[in-house]
Amino acid sequence: MVDLSKMDKKALAKVFDYSVLPKDTNEAAIRKGCEITRQYQFAAFYSSSPYWTPIIVDELKDYPDIEIGTGIAFPFGSAPANVKAFETEEAVKRGCTAVDMVMNIGALKDKRYDVVKDELKLFVKAAGKAVTKCILETNFLTDEEVAAGCKIILETGVQYAKTSSGQFEGPSLEQFMVMRRTLEGTDVKLKVAGVKFPRPQNAYTFLMAGADRIGTRAAPEIIDALDLMREIGVVPKMK
């Protein structure tokens, strides 16, 4: 669990995955995102498509500890499993070291757990050494479905359970706690995306609730707010 009482802004940056995901993203926006990533040295930089990955690889070539990520079947998750696996393989070939795949939400809601398990097994195999993160899109799910999805993530060896794509409504704290309680004591880490306004307050709340990563385009804003959050008592003071 992240201990905010021991973190300065530099350490805090390593629990954030920064992203540039808008549909109208162009090369200038990607390069600007890489510049900001170098400045803060986030844990990762994400684009919405591996189309941008070669540019990101070049921009971040001197920062091997920063993950280069993209979304798979993003943001809907309804592609067939073999298509998702191919997309994952292609992303890794182009230089991605982290891949976030959207779970087949319809199959999960239909209790077609065999379909979900099969696609996640193929995803993990296709990802190879890349970090794997599976997106649940919790706002479309009941608590029971969130728990079922998390159990499949654990069973199939995916490294992170992620709340949301960030393209729709983000998670509630209550939904996140279902994920945490389901996966407590396991090796699966928890990533939150789609943090709602006011983002700094909500992001720090998720971290204190047990999130290992926060994925957001607002990462600079949230990190820059650390001193203020400490001043007003939202975040504990440094020990």
Q: Strand, helix or coil at 234?
A: coil
Residues 223, 214: Cα–Cα separation, whole Å:
11
* pLDDT at residue 230 in the model: 97
pLDDT at residue 166, as a whole number: 87
The answer to whether residues 83 and 116 touch, using CB atoms and an 8 Å cutoff, is: no
Confidence at residue 102, expressed as pLDDT on a 0 to 100 scale? 97
Residue type, 41: Q
Quick one: pLDDT at residue 1? 82
Q: Which CATH superfamily is domain 4-231 in?
A: Aldolase class I (3.20.20.70)
Strands 44-47 and 67-72: parallel
In 3D space, the residue among 158, 90, 81, 83 whose CA is nearest the CA of residue 112 turns out to be 81
Instruction: Clarify whether 100 is annotated catalytic.
Output: yes
> Is 6 annotated in the active site?
no
Spatial separation of the C-alpha atoms in residues 88 and 142, rounded to whole Å: 28
Answer yes or no: are the C-beta atoms of 125 and 160 closer than 8 Å.
no
Gyration radius from the chain CA atoms:
17
Q: Using omega within 30 degrees of 0 as the cis cutoff, is the peptide bond preceding 50 cis?
A: no
Distances (CA, A) of 228 to 3, 40, 84, 204, 231: 17, 18, 42, 12, 5
Cα 12 to Cα 187, 191, 216, distances in angstroms? 21, 14, 14
- For the chain, list residues with pLDDT below 70: none
* pLDDT on residue 184: 97
Is position 129 annotated as part of the catalytic site? no
pLDDT of residue 239: 84
Model pLDDT, residue 24: 96
- With beta carbons less than 8 A apart as the criterion, state whether 161 and 190 touch: yes
pLDDT of 59 reads: 98
Closest Cα to residue 128, out of 72, 67, 187, 85? 85
229, 208 in Cβ contact below 8 A? no
What's the rounded Cα separation, in Å, for the pair 102 and 78? 8
Tokens of 49: 């498509």
Active-site pick, 114, 162, 187, 237: 162
Catalytic residue among 17, 84, 100, 133: 100
DSSP H helical ranges for 20-172: 27-40, 53-59, 81-93, 105-109, 113-127, 143-156
- The structural domains of the chain, with segments of one domain joined by +, span 4-231
Give 211's strand partners: none
Q: Given 17, 84, 133, 191, which residue is catalytic?
A: 191
